């Protein structure tokens, strides 16, 4: 069975990254959801992000 068909037979457990309102909608329906408290990496400084990416590699 493919991963997608397996998902159709499982309980959906969601990680929400971004708009918190999507998380709140799901939470209100008692869906299993966790909200990632995301922040722009390196304060959104693009030069710094590139440097960090290089370091990770």
Partner 1 sequence: MMFVAAEIKKNTYYDSVYLMRVTKEIEKIEGVISVLVGMGTELNKELVLSLDMMTQEIETIGANDFFVVAKMEKKDIMVEVLSKIESLMNEQKSSSIKEYKPATLESAVKYEPLTNFSLISLPGEYAIIEAKKALERNLHVMLFSDNISIEKEKELKLLAKQRGLLMMGPDCGTAIINGIPLAFANEVNRGSIGIISASGTGAQEVSVLIDKLGSGISQLIGTGGRDLKDEIDGIMMLQGIEALEKDESTDVIVLISKPPSKNVAEKIFSSINSSKKCYVINFIGSEFSNINNDKIHFTVSLEETAKLAVWLANAEKTTRKNEAEKRSKNKIDKLSIREKESTLIAKKRSKNISKKRKYLRGLFTGGTLALEAMNILQKEGISTYSNIPIDYDYELTNPKESIKNTCVDLGDDVFTKGRPHPMIEPSIRNERLIKEFNDEEVAIILMDCVLGYGSHEDPAGEIAKTLAEAKKGMGREKNDNPIVVVSICATDKDPQSLNQSVLDLENEGIIVSFSTAQATRIVAKVLETIGG
Binding site for partner 1 (CB under 8 A): 1-5, 7-8, 10-22, 25-29, 31-32, 34-41, 43-45
Other residues' Cβ atoms within 10 Å of the Cβ of residue 49: 14
Angle at 24 between CA 20 and CA 27, to 5 degrees: 135
Q: State which H helix or E strand residue 38 sits in.
A: none
Q: For the CB of residue 4, give the shortest distance to partner 1 in the complex, in Å.
A: 4
Least CB distance to partner 1 at residue 46 (A) = 9
Choose between 19 and 51: whose C-beta lies nearer to partner 1: 19
């Amino acid at each position: 069975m493919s991963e997608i068909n397996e998902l159709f037979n499982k309980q959906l457990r969601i990680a929400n990254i971004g708009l918190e309102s999507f998380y709140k909608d799901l939470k209100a329906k008692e869906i299993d959801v966790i909200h990632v408290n995301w922040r722009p990496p390196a304060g959104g400084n693009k030069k710094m992000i590139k440097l960090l990416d290089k370091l990770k590699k």
